[in-house]
A and B are shown apart, each in its own frame.
Chain A
Amino acid sequence: MSPNALELKAVRKSFGNTEIIRGTDLAIPRGERHAVIGPNGAGKSTLFNLISGRFPVNSGAILLNGEDITGLKPFEINRKGLSRSFQITNLFYNLSVFENLRCAVLWSLGYRYSFWHRLNGLREPQRRAEEVMHRIGLTRRRNVAAGVLSYAEQRALEIGITIAGGAAAILLDEPTAGMNRSETAAAVELVRSVTEGKTLIMVEHDMGVVFDLADRISVLVYGEIIASGRPEEIRANPAVQEAYLGALHKEVAHA
């Protein structure tokens, strides 16, 4: 088995005449927490959409645990053990917190399209959903519809749905977007705890979060990865400083 949880080989993606991802190579070893950073419009979210099967690639290959997943549908990729969250919260809005999480565990527990099991008689989905609900701190909001939760609660549920199925590779798209300082701190702890022993790839704008969580960082600028390495290497990399970090870097250095 390949030591890499995820590998991208010369991945390219164009929308019309505009090439958004220009031959990206990336290898993420199993168990690593990896952050993808870059200025707005660099193609970070597009990269996530390609990996998770939301968009097809134009060329190149994507490997999950050494297995080619290029061109597979999102549900097929999810079944192979890759789960993702969304930058813009993406929940089952009319279902309760508990039902959201239960829906997220059903496939991985093998219930597939069953119409012969009574849902409330199934102990394991209930136990798993409740466990995740506890971890993301939404137990007392159990029966509240996802659509009426507060923003921070919705973000927590977003992460909860992503990890509930037990996928070994987790993609988080800006988990702390739009949060205030204390919410961000809570979210970082949540991400740290729920990705224990898993491979995490995340897109994040908050440099504090990135340098706090990531084992390694890749810098994406105009569809190309210009640097990849440990946080201190990225911080010291002149090309990165020039292309992207700039003022932000100084801010982090002072903090």
Chain B
Amino acid sequence: MAAGVLRYQPLNLARWIIWGGTAVLMAALPLVFTQGFAITVISQMGVAIIFTLSYNMLLGQSGMLSFGHAVYSGLGAYIAVHTLNLAAKGQFWMPVSLLPLVGGLAGAFFGVLFGYVTTKRAGTTFAMITLGIGELVGSCSLMFPDFFGGEGGITTNRVFGQPFLGITFGPAIQVYYLIALWCIASMALMYAWSHTPLGRMANAVRDNPERAEFVGYDTQKVRWLTLIISAFFAGIAGALTAINFEIVTAENVSAVRSGGVLLAAFIGGVGFFFGPIIGACVFVYFVVALSVHTKAWLLYLGLFFMLMVMFAPGGIASLIMMQVQLIARKRFGRIARHYLAAGASGLMVLAALILTVEMTYKISVDSATGTLMKLFGMEFDAAAGTAWAVAIGLWIVGGWLFNLACLRVARVWGEIQTEFVEGRA
């Protein structure tokens, strides 16, 4: 609850700096990370940011826990991919750069349709109905192979027609900049939405739907309109996915996708506007980048999610805002060295975890090629006792130190908070 209480409202100048900085950062990223794989990762991050922010319009801002948000991005992606294929055949004029708008309108259309049913109720009932709609659309993807493309999905080619100003959208870098443009525009629009009468009333309906009715608002309509707008942005994300991968499959509308966006939003923090942006980047990092290095990436993601829910339910954003509060009141220096100690010992525990997980994977899943493995730049035998002894040692020493450091952080944190309260009195 504390997450919603802290409302970050920078001065207009600060707001321009933040937005301008974000734009510059997005423009400069491909100049720093030039490898093809890095472009893939940041492209997917851009799409995920739009999708996760659109999801948080429901969860964080309006209190609607949806288990079927991929329906809107996925159907948006399908409509976009069919549009792209028709446009490539010359049936009508539609440039690739405007395709996300088609996806968005498709998403909004299904938002009108499904949202009318789901937003009749709030809370648990809403969550259950979204789950049902998700399953419904998921099963449709197998029943209508003409539209959904069956198991193979619908493929496309984003390069067609004459290049415009030399832009063909053939190279990945051009697609990245298309995503970046739509991403920054979507971010700005969704932020603006949160400062409109509807956006504020969505917060009110989240906090207390009954009272919202008694100040003249039809809460059902507030939820419905919010869902339609959210589905619009989800559709934009879906269309960008279609352009990026040139294929749309049933996975795009699946419950896995819907669950993923919930995870991403929660990790980032649903109580702040920028939370889901961080969450989307972290999530894509886990799914795309970490999966290259280890087969156990899903386990790490699950553990990370679990730890966040247990110890930082406000997400990464709330952790950041807590530090901002300390920095603003010039207390950060006092706690920083304890953070450092906790971080160092935390790394030991992390090393212990990674070692244990990777050795277990090597022995149980991947032992066909022998039990020799490479980790942290060292080569060793996963079946050898010494490696396990090191792991156990790291667990015990690291765990003990980490526990000590955490207790100290908690104590200093408590002291500082007491000072704040007393200072105010």
Contact = CB atoms under 8 A, between A and B. Distances in A.
Contacts of B221: 113
A2 interface: no
Interface in B162-203: 192-193, 195-201, 203
Nearest to A171: B214
- Which applies to chain B's interface (DSSP): helix, strand, loop or mixed? helix
A211 interface: no
A84 interface: yes
B236 interface: no
A7 interface: no
A118 B217 contact: no
A115 B229 contact: yes
Contact of B1 (A83, A147, A164): A147
Given A52-B214, A103-B204, A94 B5 contact: yes
Interface of B: 1, 4-5, 7, 192-193, 195-201, 203-204, 206-208, 210-219, 221-222, 225, 229
Contacts of B222: 113
Interface in A100-137: 102-104, 106-108, 111-120, 122
Interface stretch (A21-29, A74-82, A241-249): A74-82
A84 B213 CA distance: 11
B214 A75 contact: yes
B225 A78 contact: no
Contact of A92 (B195, B196, B203): B203
Nearest to A99: B200
A113 B207 contact: no
Contacts of B214: 52, 74-75, 78, 83-84, 90
Contact of A117 (B196, B208, B215): B196
Contact of B213 (A78, A114, A161): A78
A39 B36 CA distance: 77
A161 B211 contact: yes
Nearest to B216: A107
Given A74-B213, A75-B213, A113 B195 contact: no
Given A75-B217, A103-B204, A106-B215, 7 more contacts: A78-B215, A90-B214, A92-B207, A92-B211, A115-B197, A119-B200, A122-B197
Contacts of B211: 86, 90-92, 161
Contacts of A92: 203-204, 207-208, 211-212
Contact of A114 (B198, B208, B212): B198
A32 B208 CA distance: 31
Given A94-B5, A120-B195, A103 B201 contact: yes
Given A74-B213, A74-B214, A95-B204, A106 B197 contact: yes
Given A148-B5, A161-B211, A118 B192 contact: yes
Contacts of A119: 195-197, 199-200
Nearest to B219: A75
Given A102-B200, A111-B197, A93 B7 contact: no
Contacts of B204: 92, 95, 103
Given A94-B1, A96-B7, A103 B196 contact: no
B215 A113 contact: no
A164 B219 CA distance: 19
A112 B197 contact: yes
A83 to B, nearest CB: 7
B216 A116 contact: no
Interface in A142-165: 143, 145, 147-148, 161, 164-165
B208 A91 contact: yes
Interface of A: 52, 54, 73-75, 78-79, 83-84, 86, 90-96, 99, 102-104, 106-108, 111-120, 122, 143, 145, 147-148, 161, 164-165
A179 B192 CA distance: 41
A94 B195 contact: no
A64 to B, nearest CB: 14
Given A92-B204, A145-B4, A115 B216 contact: no
A103 B225 CA distance: 17
A79 B216 contact: yes
Contacts of A83: 214-215
B208 A73 contact: no
B201 A113 contact: yes
Contacts of A93: 1, 207-208
Nearest to A145: B5
Nearest to A112: B197
Contacts of A107: 215-217
A244 to B, nearest CB: 29
Contacts of B5: 94, 145, 147-148
A113 B208 contact: no
A114 B222 CA distance: 10
Nearest to B229: A115
B287 to A, nearest CB: 31
B192 A103 contact: no
Contact of A75 (B197, B208, B216): B216
B61 to A, nearest CB: 11
Contacts of B201: 103, 106, 113
22 contacts: A52-B214, A78-B214, A78-B216, A83-B214, A86-B211, A92-B203, A93-B1, A94-B1, A94-B5, A95-B203, A99-B203, A103-B201, A106-B215, A113-B201, A115-B193, A115-B196, A117-B196, A117-B197, A119-B197, A119-B200, A122-B197, A143-B7
Contacts of A113: 197-198, 201, 221-222, 225
